[in-house]
Amino acid sequence: MTSKTLQKARDYEVKMEEKIAEESRPAFHLSARVGWMNDPNGFSYYNGEYHMFYQYHPYDAYWGPMHWGHAVSKDLLHWEYRPVAIAPDMEYDKDGCFSGSAVTLPDGRHLLMYTSVERKEEADGVVRDFQTQSVAIGDGMDYEKYENNPVLTAADLPEGCSRYDFRDPKMWQLEDGSYLCVIGNRPADGSGQILLFSSPDALNWKYEKILDANNNRYGKMWECPDFIPLDGKWVLLTSPQDMLPEGLEYHNGDGTICMIGSFDETEWTFTEEKNQAIDYGIDFYAPQTVLAPDGRRIMIGWMQNWDTSGHHPKED
């Protein structure tokens, strides 16, 4: 069932899209249907097409309450817009549907997992954003939020993990049919870390361990993780906030780093061996990868970052 909030966003983007001249859009890169976009989300191959969702505020050219925009492509060059997939229309996500990922379920349905944000006042009188994880299931066009959302909350976190910086789930399916998921988090020292969760069905999740910890090496909060096997190694991707330069590396304060190493798939333990920047330009953030049908590992990132996006309050 389509909520009023979702339908409003869908109607708005159709109306405003008519005012955008085709020649004003990039010829190669996917742009927002209307309004603002940032992180790619739910990058997946489903029913013969690549699906690209993205952080989306259709009502303005500035960041705002996050929706998930949606586009599909058969070749990653020519994109067709689809209606807004999810909108902040539930109490637990009323302040934003933040970044996440997608998998195909055994019954053929498409499952999206995203960070749900609810702003609440605490006992000390301070209003804070509580970040939880929720899912929506659909057919590649329309998605319905799970009745038991959120599927991960602060109650599932070990002591010392932030409930305010707990976001960007990236999940994948194992050979036995179960699922793993990495999620960015901020520990008590203010540094970043990547948490690992497991699930038998992509709905019921439990905490397993800290997959990797920043320990104040590279920036602060580690956002938008991805964890993939590649050429005999495992690669942990993440986008740290406020990195400082290290030699010739990391001169982009909000860039993307990869840790390359080994992963014990029995103990679920990752051992770092080396690290490097993903891109040496100033505009590459929050990438996601997908395993294509032909075996290629394809990456797409936000061609912008928080340093260069102009994300700040508008002046009257």
Active site residue: 11, 39, 176, 316, which one? 39
Please tell me the pTM assigned to this model: 0.95
Which pLDDT score, from 0 to 100, does residue 313 have?
39
Q: Which residue ranges of the chain lie beneath pLDDT 70?
A: 253, 304-316
Look at the alpha carbons of 66, 282, 75, 19 in this order and tell me if their dihedral is positive or negative: positive
pLDDT score of 308: 60
Q: What is the DSSP string of 182-224?
A: EEEEEETTS--EEEEEEESSSSS-EEEEEEEE-TTSS-S-EEE
How does pLDDT run across 84-141, given as a tens digit for each residue? Answer: 999 999 999 999 999 999 999 999 999 999 999 999 999 999 999 999 999 999 999 9
What ranges do the domains of the chain cover? 152-286
Question: CA-CA distances (angstroms) from residue 122 to 18, 126, 134, 155?
Answer: 44, 6, 22, 16
pLDDT at site 242: 84
Six-digit token string for 246: 């290290």
Does residue 150 have a cis bond before it (omega within 30 degrees)?
A: yes
Question: What DSSP line would sit under 248-260, residue for residue?
Answer: TB--STT--EEEE
Element (H, E) at 71: strand 67-73
CATH of domain 152-286: 2.115.10.20
Burial label for 175, CB within 10 Å (0-12, 13-18, 19+), is exposed
Cα separation of 22 and 193, whole Å?
Answer: 42
CA distances (Å), 138 to each of 18, 34, 55, 113, 135, in order? 27, 23, 18, 12, 10
Cα gap 239→257, rounded to integer Å: 6
* Token digits of residue 236: 């942990």
> Would you call 39 a catalytic residue per the annotation?
yes
Quick one: DSSP state of residue 242?
S
